[in-house]
């Protein structure tokens, strides 16, 4: 496998995987297909833009004509599907966009992969498909109980990919990764939102009692896990990707403020996210048995992430203008008592 289609490769994790993959000289061809929604950003691919093995195509994975044309032009051994509407809070406003990309888009890619003899299809799914796990850890065989339109749509795409293996024999691997942080993450998710708000001395909106727990994973670790699943995973199998961390939102917010030397008084407890999952935790020994191990603990990944945002204001500042301001006002305006 040395010719890759990476969908959603201009986003946070997809672009990190592309940068990592192209550091490997055995990769012969890598095409990114990305719609460039508000979350897609060509600046994320700037480090590889001039690599002769790399090509960028702007297009929608749910658009059959676009996908068919690309599969006629290029030959792919493997497809990695990162493309998704990925923010839970946005899915509460506009579920339709999530169903179109996260379910229908997956179907279009699976059909094209089947028609063109793709050797492996990696569906990048999420630990959110298991729903809240109040104790213990989710295993790959556990039932899916998604809580939000985002995670329900991701569960649909995840199960559809597995069904294409069962029904049509397509070589499919599904990964279910934990909350990922690091450079180039759009500043709407908790970690980059809190960092950029803190840098601007703006309040950090913490939902509910601030005790919802997430398992944080550094983006480099997530990408290496995807490569292990891609190259060594078994067809038709699911692999959880987790770090065994239990970090609640107040701990995250406090750690960010401490790293930036800002006062804890910037923390605001605000009304909760509807359907907010209290805790995620995945058991990832199945992937670890294939040779993957996370390298980054919480303190190190957070320090690296905070340092990156501090040094890259030119990357994130424009993203907080424009459309983001309307989104911010709609989500946080009344919670934070902001004037419109
Ligand atoms: P992101 O929002 O940063 O990037 C998504 C990318 O997909 C963007 O570049 C966007 O332009 C593109 N895209 C959206 N709709 C598209 C469409 N219809 N056609 C083509 N491109 C489209 O997301 P991310 O955080 O990098 O997540 C990548 C994948 O990993 C997603 O599938 C997500 O569900 C999954 N995941 C994310 C996390 C996390 O913590 N961020 C954890 C586990 C799994
Ligand atoms: O677990 C994997 C998932 O992690 C991915 O599938 C999603 O794409 C990704 O967005 C992320 O989902 P979460 O909803 O867990 O991440 P988010 O950064 O939005 O929130 C993390 C925690 O912080 C969660 O408990 C909600 C809370 N939070 C979030 C925001 C944006 C707040 O308290 N305040 C906020 O403003």
CB 113 within 8 A of CB 212: no
CB 33 within 8 A of CB 9: yes
* Residue 135, Cβ density class (10 Å: 0-12 exposed, 13-18 middle, ≥19 buried): exposed
127 lines ligand 2 (CB under 6 A): yes
pTM of the model: 0.98
Dump pLDDT digits (tens) for 241-288: 999 999 999 999 999 999 999 999 999 999 999 999 999 999 999 999
pLDDT band at 235 (very low <50, low <70, confident <90, very high): very high
146 lines ligand 1 (CB under 6 A): no
88 CA closest ligand 2 atom index: 14
Q: How far is the CA of 245 from the centre of ligand 1 (A)?
A: 23
Dump pLDDT digits (tens) for 29-62: 999 999 999 999 999 999 999 999 999 999 999 9
Kindly report the average pLDDT of the chain as a whole number: 98
Annotated domain spans of the chain: 3-180+217-241
CB 10 within 8 A of CB 45: yes
pLDDT at 197: 98
pLDDT at 339: 81
176 lines ligand 1 (CB under 6 A): no
pLDDT at 234: 98
**Cα–Cα distance measured from residue 54 to residue 31, given in angstroms and rounded to the nearest whole number:** 6
The CA distances from residue 2 to 55, 123, 245, 296, in Å, are 14, 18, 34, 28
* DSSP sequence for 135-203: SS-B-TTSPP---SHHHHHHHHHHHHHHHHHHHH---EEEEEE--EE-TT--TTSHHHHHHHHHHTT--
**Cα–Cα distance measured from residue 297 to residue 243, given in angstroms and rounded to the nearest whole number:** 8
Dump pLDDT digits (tens) for 53-105: 999 999 999 999 999 999 999 999 999 999 999 999 999 999 999 999 999 99
Which one of 6, 36, 37 would you pick to mutate in the ligand 1 pocket, going by the greatest count of ligand atoms within 8 A of its CB? 37
Dump pLDDT digits (tens) for 288-313: 999 999 999 999 999 999 999 999 99
pLDDT band at 185 (very low <50, low <70, confident <90, very high): very high
Dump pLDDT digits (tens) for 191-207: 999 999 999 999 999 99
Q: Can you state the percent helix, strand and coil of the chain, rounding each to 5?
A: 45, 15, 35
Q: Which ligand is nearest to the CA of 8?
A: 1
**Cα–Cα distance measured from residue 157 to residue 84, given in angstroms and rounded to the nearest whole number:** 10
Residue 238 pLDDT > 90, yes or no? yes
**From the candidate CATH numbers 3.40.50.10880, 3.40.50.1110, 3.40.50.720, 3.30.70.270, the one assigned to the domain spanning 3-180+217-241:** 3.40.50.720
CB atoms within 10 A of CB 171: 17
pLDDT at 322: 87
How large is the average pLDDT for residues 119-137?
Answer: 98
**Cα–Cα distance measured from residue 302 to residue 283, given in angstroms and rounded to the nearest whole number:** 22
Residue 340 pLDDT > 90, yes or no? no
Which one of 20, 44, 57, 83 would you pick to mutate in the ligand 1 pocket, going by the greatest count of ligand atoms within 8 A of its CB? 83
Q: Are strands 213-214 and 247-248 parallel, antiparallel or unpaired?
A: antiparallel
**Cα–Cα distance measured from residue 113 to residue 68, given in angstroms and rounded to the nearest whole number:** 10
């Amino acid at each position: 496998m040395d010719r890759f289609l990476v969908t959603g490769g201009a986003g946070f994790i997809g672009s990190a995987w592309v940068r990592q993959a192209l550091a490997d000289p055995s990769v012969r061809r890598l095409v990114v297909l990305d719609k460039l929604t508000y979350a897609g950003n060509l600046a994320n691919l700037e480090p590889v833009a001039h690599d002769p093995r790399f090509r960028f195509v702007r297009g929608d994975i749910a658009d059959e004509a676009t996908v068919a044309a690309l599969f006629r032009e290029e030959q792919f051994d493997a497809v990695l599907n990162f493309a998704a509407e990925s923010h839970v809070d946005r899915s509460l406003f506009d579920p339709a966009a999530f169903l179109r990309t996260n379910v229908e888009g997956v179907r279009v890619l699976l059909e094209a992969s089947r028609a063109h003899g793709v050797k492996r299809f990696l569906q990048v799914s999420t630990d959110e498909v298991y729903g809240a796990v109040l104790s213990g850890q989710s295993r790959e065989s556990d039932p899916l109980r998604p809580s939000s339109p985002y995670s329900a749509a991701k569960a649909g795409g995840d199960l559809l990919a597995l069904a294409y293996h069962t029904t049509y024999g397509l070589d499919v691997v599904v990964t279910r990764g934990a909350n990922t942080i690091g450079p180039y993450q759009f500043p709407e998710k908790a970690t980059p939102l809190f960092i950029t708000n803190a840098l601007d001395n703006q309040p950090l909106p913490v939902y509910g009692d601030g005790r919802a727990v997430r398992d944080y994973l550094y983006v480099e670790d997530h990408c290496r896990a995807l490569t292990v699943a891609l190259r060594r995973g078994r067809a038709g199998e699911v692999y959880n990707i987790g770090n065994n961390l239990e970090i609640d939102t107040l701990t995250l917010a406090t750690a960010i403020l401490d790293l930036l030397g800002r006062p804890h008084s910037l923390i605001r407890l605000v009304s909760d996210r509807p359907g907010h999952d209290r805790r995620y935790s995945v058991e990832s020994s199945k992937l670890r048995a294939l040779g993957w191990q996370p390298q980054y603990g919480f303190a190190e990944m957070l320090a690296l992430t905070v340092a990156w945002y501090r040094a890259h204001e030119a990357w994130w500042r424009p993203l907080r203008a424009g459309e983001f301001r309307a989104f911010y006002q709609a989500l946080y305006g009344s919670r934070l008592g902001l004037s419109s």
